[in-house]
A = this chain, B = another copy of it.
Amino acid sequence: MAVVAKWMCDRDNAMFDNKKDADAYDKMLELAENLTELLQKHIPSANEKEAEDFGILLARNKELLVQACKGKVEALEEVSAEPSNVTTLAANG
């Protein structure tokens, strides 16, 4: 039988078929963690789970966030909780 390379993101053990997707996912989680950290620093009232989910939500929708910052503010209305093009193995298993 053959052996096949898999790529695991060590932030949450998500598995990927290729390095490119794994890197993109890892980068997204890094952005999410930093956004959550910034948010918790400035909004002590926000509970941890919601702050984490919001960091991930923004990171998953970073293209829309960039568009909004560049002037197309209505892009924020398209921000949604569905995973963007970065899918983990489990999602497409």
Contact = CB atoms under 8 A, between A and B. Distances in A.
Copies in the complex: 2
Contact of A44 (B50, B62, B66): B50
A42 to B, nearest CB: 5
A53 interface: yes
B43 A76 contact: no
A13 to B, nearest CB: 21
Given A46-B46, A63-B69, 5 more contacts: A42-B57, A43-B51, A44-B50, A45-B46, A45-B50
Interface of A: 27, 30-31, 34-35, 37-39, 42-47, 50-51, 53-54, 57, 62-63, 65-66, 68-71, 73-74, 76, 79
